[in-house]
Structure 1
Amino acid sequence: MSLSQFSIIETTLREGEQFCGANFSSQDRVEIARALDQFGVEYIEVTSPCASPQSRQDCQHLAQLGLYAKVMTHIRCHLEDAKVALDTGVNGINLFFGTSSFLRQFGHGKSISQIVDRATEVITFIHDQSPETELRFSTEDSFRSLLPDLLQVYCAIDKLGMVNRFGLADTVGVATPNQVFNLVQTLRQHTNTDIEFHGHNDTGCAIANSYAALEAGATHIDTTVLGIGERNGITPLAGLIARLYTINPEQLQWKYRLPQLLSLHQLVADKVGMAIPANHYIIGSAAFNHKAGVHAKAMLNNPQTYEAIDPSDFGLSRSFLINHKLTGRHAIANRASQLGLDFDPFQIQAITQTIKALADQQPLTLETVDEILRSTFPMQQSHNSA
Structure 2
Amino acid sequence: MKPNVCLYDTTLRDGTQGEGVSLSVEDKVKIALRLDQFGIDFIEGGWPGSNPKDMAFFERMREIPLEHATITAFGSTCRPNVAASEDDNLRALLESGVKAAAIFGKSWDLHVTDALKTTLEENLRMVADSVSFLKSQGLTVLFLAEHFFDGYKANPLYALRVLEAAEGAGADWVVLCDTNGGSLPHEVYDIVRTVKGSLQVQLGIHPHNDCELAVANAIAAVQAGAEQVQGTINGIGERCGNVNLISVIPNLQLKLGYRCVEDEQLQQLTKLSRFVAEVANMAMPNNQPFVGNSAFAHKGGIHVSAVLKDPKTYEHIEPERIGNKRRVLVSELSGQSNLLAKTDELDIDVELDKQEAREIIQKIKEREFQGYQYEGAEASLSLMLLAAGGKLDSLFTLDSFKILMEKSRDRAILSEATVKLQVNGQLVHTAAEGNGPVNALDNALRKALETHFPCLAEMQLTDYKVRVLDESGATAAKVRVLIESGRNGEKWSTVGVSTNVIEASWEALVDSIRYLLWKEGCKRSEPEEKAEVRAGIVNH
CA change 1:135–1:359 in 2 (3 A) is: same
Gap change, CA 1:346 and 1:224, over 3 Å in 2: same
Deviates more, 1:331-340 or 1:296-305: 331-340
Contact kept in structure 2, 1:77 and 1:119, CA below 8 Å: yes
5+ long unaligned stretches in structure 1: 379-386
Going from structure 1 to structure 2, the CA distance change for 1:350 and 1:264 (only over 3 Å counts) comes to: closer
Counterpart in the other structure of 1:26: 25
- Is structure 2 residue 321 aligned with structure 1 residue 292? no
Matches within 5 A, 1:1-386: 2=2, 4-67=3-66, 68-78=68-78, 79=84, 80=87, 81-130=89-138, 133-145=139-151, 146-160=155-169, 162-247=170-255, 254=262, 257-322=265-330, 324-335=331-342, 339-343=348-352, 348=357, 352=361, 355-356=364-365, 359-360=368-369, 362-365=371-374
**Contact 2:6 2:260 (8 Å CA) reproduced:** no
TM-score (norm 1): 0.86
Q: CA deviation at 1:228?
A: 1.1
C-alpha separation in 2, matches of 1:228 and 1:47: 15
Query: Judging changes above 3 Å, is the alpha-carbon distance between structure 1 residues 344 and 107 closer, same or farther for their aligned structure 2 residues?
Result: same
Tell me, which stretches of 5 or more residues in structure 2 are unaligned? 79-83, 391-540
Q: Which moved more, 1:139-148 or 1:121-130?
A: 121-130
Counterpart amino acid of residue 134 in structure 1: T
Does the CA contact (< 8 Å) of 1:290 and 1:320 recur in 2?
yes
* Offset, 1:90: 1.2
2:14 alignment partner AA: E
Q: Secondary structure at the match of 1:135?
A: strand
Count of paired positions: 373
2:146 touches 2:176 (CA, 8 Å); kept in 1?
yes
**Percent identity between the two aligned chains:** 28
Structure 2 match to 1:382: none
Q: Against the structure 1 CA distance between its residues 250 and 216, is the aligned structure 2 distance closer, same or farther, given a 3 Å change threshold?
A: closer
Q: Distance in 2 between matches of 1:313 and 1:212?
A: 23
- One-letter amino acid of the structure 1 residue matched with residue 237 of structure 2: G
2:19 and 2:176 mapped to 1: Cα distance? Answer: 24
Q: What amino acid is the match of 1:204?
A: E
Q: Is the Cα contact below 8 Å between 1:224 and 1:234 reproduced in 2?
A: yes
Shift of 1:353: 5.7
Instruction: Give, in angstroms, the shift of residue 157 of structure 1.
Output: 3.3
Which whole-Å CA distance do the structure 2 matches of 1:333 and 1:75 have between them?
57
Q: Does the CA-based 8 Å contact 1:242-1:309 persist in structure 2?
A: no
1:16 deviates by 1.3
In 2, Cα distance between equivalents of 1:153 and 1:336: 61
Provide, for residues 227-265 of structure 1, a one-character-per-residue CA deviation record: whole Å limited to 9, x for no partner: 111112101121112322432689556266134334433
How far has the Cα of 1:82 moved from its partner? 2.0
Structure 2 letter corresponding to 1:27: E
Amino acid at match of 2:165: A
Structure having the larger proportion of residues in strand: 2
The amino acid of 1:9's aligned partner reads Y
**Hey, what's the Cα distance between the residues in 1 that align with 2:175 and 2:383?**
59
Contact 2:24 / 2:53 at 8 angstroms: preserved in 1? no
1:257 counterpart SS class: helix
> How far 1:361 moved relative to its partner?
5.4
Change (3 A) 1:194 1:255: farther
SS at match of 2:262: helix
Which 10-residue stretch deviates more, 29-38 or 281-290?
A: 281-290
Higher mean Cα deviation, 46-55 or 88-97?
46-55
Q: Which amino acid aligns with 1:24?
A: L
In structure 2, give the amino acid aligned to 1:62: M
CA RMSD of aligned residues (A): 2.7
User: Counterparts of 2:348 and 2:95 in 1: how far apart (Å)?
Assistant: 63
Q: Which has the higher contact order (CA 8 A, sep 6+)?
A: 1
**Compared CA separation, residues 108 and 63, structure 1 to 2 (3 A):** farther
Q: Distance in 1 between the 2:52 and 2:261 partners?
A: 39
Deviation at 1:352, TM superposition (A): 4.5
Q: Which amino acid aligns with 1:302?
A: D
Q: State the TM-score, normalized to the length of structure 2.
A: 0.63
TM superposition shift of 1:279 = 1.6
The AA in structure 2 aligned to 1:5 is: N
Equivalent in the alignment of 1:383: none
Q: Distance in 1 between matches of 2:25 and 2:388?
A: 58
Q: 1:371 to 1:28 in 2, by over 3 A?
A: closer
> What per-residue deviation string (whole Å, max 9, x for no partner) do you get for residues 83-125 of structure 1?
2212322121111112224422442123332211111112222
* Higher radius of gyration, 1 or 2: 2
The one-letter code sitting in structure 2 at the alignment partner of 1:83 is R
Counterpart-to-counterpart distance in 1, 2:232 and 2:258:
23
1:19 deviates by 1.8
Query: Do the aligned partners of residues 199 and 63 (structure 1) sit closer, same or farther apart at CA in structure 2, a change above 3 Å counting?
Result: farther
Paired residue type of 2:314: Y
